[in-house]
Amino acid sequence: CQDLSTNLERRNCMTDFVNKHIGENFNTSIADSLSPGKKRVFVQFKIDTEGNVKNIKARGPSEALEIEAERVLSTLPQFVPGKQKGKLVTVPYSLPIVFQVAEPKKD
């Protein structure tokens, strides 16, 4: 995303990358024991001045989903650290992980 010219383009690229990573790695079958419907896990993390993902926090409808969200985010690769006015800075990031739990199949 570094090659993009505006902050908005870089932010959208970063969001797309993180969402793709979550989509490919999040084990949604953990939610099968929950009631059907849309489920949201809200996650927050920081990218430190070395580009590492730190301070991952998740809040969701079950502890198992929170643990899974933290696990998936901890597998993100190292990023290029953020800069502001020429200095490296820690960048906070938050997003919801949203998915649908289907009705159980009837025999």
Give tens-digit pLDDT for 68-86. 899 999 999 888 888 888 8
**What DSSP state is assigned to residue 86?**
T
Contacts 24+ apart (CB under 8 A), 27-30: 27/68, 28/99, 28/101, 30/62, 30/64, 30/65, 30/68
58 vs 81, 85, 92, CA distance in Å? 22, 31, 14
pTM of this prediction?
Answer: 0.80
Contact at 8 Å (CB) between 95 and 43?
Answer: yes
Residues of the chain with pLDDT under 50: none
Output the pLDDT for position 104: 67
Output the pLDDT for position 107: 59
